[in-house]
Structure formats: C-alpha cells, structure tokens
Structure 1
Amino acid sequence: MPHTPEPDEDDDFDLAPAPKPVHYAEQALLGALLLAPTRLADTEPLIAHDFDNHTHAALFTAIRTLPPPDPADHAKDTAWLNAVLDHARPHAPGLSASYLHALIQFCPQSKHAAAYARMIRADNARRILRGHAERLASTATDPGLPNPVATTLGLADDISRVLDALAEQFAPHPGPFPRTALPADVPRQAGEEDLDEERLLLATATAHPAEAQQMRWLTETDFLLPLHAALWQSITALVHRGDMVDPVTVLGEAQHRGLLTDSLTPKDLMALVSTPAGSPEYWGEKILKRAFLARAQTVAVRITAYTDDPANTPHQLITGSRGALADLNALRTRWNRATAPTIVSTASAPARSTPRPRAEPPHRPPVTPARAHR
C-alpha cells in the first residue's frame, strides 16, 4: 500500500527519510478509530503522549475527548468526523478532511486496533528509555556538576523506575536476551592530573598501609593505567598478608609480579611510591569517582544501543537495560562503602554518624621523574 503523506509533509519524497514502522501503526489505529469509534476501548492504556507524530497525537486527543457518535448515524454522515477535525485543527493547523479520509482508507482492519496501539506504546517506551539514557550520558560527562556521582545515581534510579513501570505495561515472554551488537566501553581519557592522582595514591598507600587495608572498595579495574593497577595489587597483597610495607618491600613484590622493565627501573619504581601526600582514601575516592562516571557513560551508551535496535521487543529492552544497570550498581555499592559515615561513640555521648575524614594534601607536590612513566 502506498505511503499516505502527512498534511504538512514535503512533496520531495526522495529527500524525506523513510517512515518508521510506528508511523504506519499510528495511521492504522487512527483510521480504525475514525471508522469505528467504539474501538477506542481496545486501545487502553494508550494516551496521546505515546504518539511519535504530533498531528496524530492531536487527532487521538480529539477522538478521546469528543463523545462517540451513534453507530447508525456515523455510518450515514460525516458530522462526527467534522467535529474531530475542528477539535484537532487548532493543535495541528495543516490537518485536512482529506487526510482523515485517507487514514480510514489506510487502515487494514479496524478490529486490530489493540495491536496497533501496542505497537505505538512499544515505540514510545523505546523513545522514553533512550531519552533517559541520553541524560545519563550527558550528566556523567558534565564537568560543571558540583556532585556528579549523586546526580548520576539519581538518574540511574530514574531509569530503574522507568524499567519497572515498563515491566508492568508489557508482559514478559520467553525469548532471548537482546542480540544487539554492543559498542565497546567508552574509552577513558588519561589526563596527566588523573595519572598524578593515581601515583599519589600509590605513594600514600605505601606510607599508610593501615588506611589502605580498609580500602577494599577500590579495585585494580578502577585505575586508568595498567601499571598503576598492578602496583596497587602489589601494595594490597603485602597489606593483606600482614607483611611490612615500604618502598623497598613494594619494589620486591613488584619484582615478583614481573613489573620491572627497561622503562621502569627499580629506582623509578621506588621514587614513584615515595612521595606521599594527604591520605590514601582521599586519592582513592577520586579514582573511584572517575571510574564510576566512566561506567555510567558506558551503561548509557549500551542502553541507547538497545533502544536503537528495532529488533528488540519491549521485554528485551527491559532485560538488556537492567543487565547494563547491574554493572553500575556494583560500582554504586563500592562507592557507598567508600563514602559511608563512620560511627563515633564516647562514654558521655550517644553514638553518632560523622563523615569519614579525608586528609587532603596541603598542596600538590612537584612531579618527580618517575611520574613520566606511563
């Protein structure tokens, strides 16, 4: 069946993008309702906001707003169609009587109105989820936010609530996990300041191993530089074994792990872990925050990929998006452990929660030669 043009559609069809499947579903549904207004009951819980096309949404609003005509009268004249047109035209000025009649002609089967409505709702669910994913990605990369982790967590919670709501609207069905080819993780940019913070963590953890022992919330996957991740593993391995920790013992552990190379000499490694400043937890939080925001961006990209794949059903969108969020929730748990308040109690005062102290360095120490190693 040939494409029925929109009332304000460009005549140059070669330049216009091909209509999406939902466009035809909207036309078919509106044709069904204009032909048989009693079919409106079959469309619940569809609302005008679910439509992708503004003119179609205006028409649907008019159909829902006006009292349905008597079937016998509707079969004999166009009075109700004219009333629908008059109600919708202020919101869609290009709408014409000929387009209403074209919609009626376009509808294959008015008794299939419920199926058309489900297609429209499914497409709207895709758009809603994509919009939330785009906001998540934008927030995770916004350098101007005062508390980016908290804001990002709030948006992740919003997505979870959207998924819960969609799960109630679309019944689950047997089927595979989305087969969408997912993009690679968003590459993490390693700026010099970021690498400096990783080096300072290594040096400060070497100087204060007791504090590093409490930092199980930080893992090697959070580091930008593989060498720094391996050195963090060396330090924490010494700590967890109860061994002595200082630049020389860290050097020995690094040697056993095969980290020494022509470009990283023993002297370089000892210099790298010998310039502490502040507390390990202070630098660790910075590293974890950076890893969290990078993961949030990757999650957003993956959810967007699911929504951009038209082969995914609403159930597959929900399943795939929840799987993507699970990765972020694992980091959320570690972030909450890192920033949880400590409990301080005295004999004369009740126990109270206080923020976990973070010793910031008084000033950034000068960059040592070892910091040139990447």
Structure 2
Amino acid sequence: HLLRPPLPPGATAPAGPVPTTDDCPASLPDHDVQCPLHGAAGCQPPPPATAVALHAAFCADPAAPLDTDTVHALAAVLGAQLHSADRAVGERGPGTVIEGTLRAVVARLADAPVRHRRVLARLAAEYAHAAGSLRLHGGRPATAMACFDRALGWAALADDPTTQAAALSDMAVLGLLDDDPASAGDYAREIRRAAPGRHWADALATLGEARATALAGDVRATVRHIGRARQYLDRPEDLPDAEVHVPWLAPAALRLRVESGSSAALRDLAAATADPRLAQRALTAATAALDLLDDGRLPVARAMLTVRIADCHLCADDPHTAIAALTPVLATDGAPLPALVRHELRGLRGRLAAGAGRWGAGAAEAAVRLGAVV
C-alpha cells in the first residue's frame, strides 16, 4: 500500500513544468515544510539553482544519490511550489511538479537502505499532503482523499504527528463537503490519536467536532466544542523540539484556525435555526479571523472568510450588507474560484434565492449573478 503512489501517472501523463529558482527558500522550515533531517530545528538548503538541479537529478535518475543536499533540495522545492500556489486565488490544478516528485520518492522506498526509509517516508508524506491540498482547492475531492489517506500512512511510518494531524484535518473537511457529519467528526477525533497529549491537537480535534455537530444541527454540542477549543488556546504549552518552530502550530496561526472554524460552525447553526444571535457570533469570529491574516498572505483564506462574513450578514437578515461584502471576491476577471470558496458561495446563493421573496429583486439578481461563478 505504501509503495504505490496515490495518483498513478497514466499512459499520457504530461511531464509538467520544470521548477524554477523563484520562491526557493533560503532556510527551512518554510511554508509549513520541514527538513526531514533537521525538522523544526531548521537548516539551510543549497542555493536555489543548485536545489533545482538536485531536484531534477533525483526525479530523473532512480540511482542518483540521496545525500543531505538532495534532501534539503527536495524540501526546498516543495516549499517553493506551495509558496507559488498560495499566491493564486483561482483554481490551482493538479500540481504536476509535486505529484511527479512524489512518484519519484515513492519509487525509491521499496529498495531504499534502512537509513533512508524514514527520510523518504517523511518526504512522501509532505508531498502527498501538498498534492491533496492542491487537488482539494482545485475541486477534485476524490483524488484529494486518496492523497491524504496515503500521506497519513507515510507520516505514521516517519513518526510525523504534525503531518498526520494536517491530513486528518483536511479529511474532516472533505467529510463536511460530502454533507457527512459523522465521518467528519470521526476524522477530527483521530487527530488526538495522532498527537496524544498535545494541546494543539486537542484544539484542532475539538474544532473539527464543532464543525461536524453544527452540520448535524446540534446547537448545544457545537457551542460546547467551540468553548473547549478556545480554552486550549489559552493554555501555555511546552512544545517538543520537533514542533516548536512549525509555523502552523504558532499561537497566532492556531487562533486563526479556531476563529475561522468557529465562524463556520456558528454560521451553519444560524442558517439552520434562523437565530440572529448565532449569526452575530459567527460574524464576530469570522471578522476576528480575517483580522489575523496579514495583508497579501493566504488570498484563498481571505476570499473564503470574506464570503463567510457576507453569509453571516445574510443569516442576520441583512442582505444589502451581505451583497456589498461580496464585491471584492466576485471581481475575478473570469478566473475560477477555489473549490472551498465556491462551496461557501453555493450555500450563500441558496439562502439568497430562498429569501428573495422577502428581500426583494436585489437578492434575486444577486443569486443569479452568483450562479455564474459557483
């Protein structure tokens, strides 16, 4: 199972673009990618041109050496690819560089000497999770799940709890997209098994449970889970050395996740119950999450939160503010929006259409306009 890539190349698979020196990091960790040899302690990869050349040699020749510089280069190229993808708001495609590199890594696992297996498993886990993330944002949930599932296995083999938790969090999101709160909650609870005793894992798991119970319409359980997730953020935690410099485990990044997830759960409850108090709480959380985003960073997250804020206004019976808030998101010049943003817009569009008789022609016209982008 672990010696087979999640995405077979196919008979006519394109070679894909060649990585460039653009965005190659000067140090690791970078863009949530850690060096498999040095982890969160950090290290300095080769210069960008050397890193790209080593990456190309590794992918082209199964017998090429897996020395320290090559491992650093493979991690650096992954960070560069994710950095490049993160700047794009539109659909990001299958990530052929990442998937091609993943196949090259997996091809070496079967015959790798013992000293290389954990390093290769760690690289496979990171690349598979990245491939799944790109496919999820590109609207390909089935193949995204295949990537996340395989990333989970390789991360367990490499004793990498952070990548396990990241993959499980994304699998829980796919459960929500499938309108399957039971599966979403089960995946969220597995995060605690992957990283036992970590407050950040408890926070992520509890937040995932909140999203699942909200989708199921359980107000009391959802509010309880959100309260517990916030409590975890306020507890000081002495992180292990392997996690202390992981960017997405930093307090501000975790707070962003909790505020964003809380806003989604409360918005789902507000939409189901028509309770304006829940809508206002959702709006407060979504605004707090948006305020935590630095200007210019994570444009997909910014677009998704902007749509959610508009939806919260709609759930609070304020369609005019909701429609006005959507203006920057819909100014895409025809470029398709990421799948998760489109998912948010579909829910908002359905609520606009349902309330058009009460809110008037403006709401009906806005619903029609949204139909062209979702």
**TM value normalised by structure 1:** 0.25
Higher relative contact order (Cα pairs below 8 Å, separated by 6+ residues): 1
Choose between structure 1 and 2: higher helix proportion: 2
Larger Rg: 1
